Structure 1
Amino acid sequence: MDLADWAPIIVAAITIAGGTFQARRKRPVTREIVKQDVELLGLLPEGSEAKRLLAEHIDATIRKIVEDENQRTRDYIGSCLAVGFLLVALFLMVVSVGRGGNWWWLSVPAVITGLFGAVGLGQDAVPRRRDARGRPL
């Protein structure tokens, strides 16, 4: 099988990945939500129960942001290792598709390596609370 046969599939996959990235990127960040809540707080009448509840919610959210901000980290070594696994998987798939014939067997280790890379990237690239050894809590 020629790489030209795979080109539309690769382009579609890149398009879907880019669209997913953009959709996730446009979600409001917690700080933006707090800013909107503060603006809403100013519009509520003085002495109302809703104003008191919203003020308590804003205080609790800000405390959580400040406490979590310093404790969440990424595992950069694990992320780089996961990207390495994904690159090896991509290389094996390109060789498998490019050579054809019995080379299709290379797709088996490519899929396994790609799965390890995807799972590793999902675990290590996401900011999480970690213990002293870097393991997620």
Structure 2
Amino acid sequence: MEQTLVIIKPDGVKRKLVGEILQRFERKQMTLAKLKVAKMSRELAEEHYAHVKQFDFFEEMMTYMTSSEVVYLVLEGTEVIKTVRKMIGATNCLQAEPGTIRGDYGANSYQNVIHASDSPEAALTEIKRFFNE
């Protein structure tokens, strides 16, 4: 069974969208394998977003991602990575289709409510990063 990591970001938690987002995944017959609520440390945020460190918005994004609690999920299902990526929509929510999570709720390129792994390799790395028990 394929797994993926999903993070409901601070804006999604603050705006009380967690239940709505979980319900969307459950309606697609995905299994919620793990869930935890925690504040992301600066160290984990820098590791997770190292691929955008060169961009001007990096510091603002670090402040945002460590500002309050996030919800970490591990979802399981057939082709779950591809399905979740389709459901969340384009990273830049201004380009995301209506009906996707980012298209319906996102604010900008990083305050876009949600993160999801983009490949099986990323999913393995990210699940280990945030669920390292």
TM-score per shorter chain, which class? Answer: under 0.3
Greater relative contact order (CA < 8 Å, ≥ 6 in sequence)? 2
Normalized against structure 1, the TM-score is what? Answer: 0.21
Rg bigger for which structure? 1
Where is the helix percentage greater, Structure 1 or Structure 2?
Answer: 1
Normalized against structure 2, the TM-score is what? Answer: 0.21
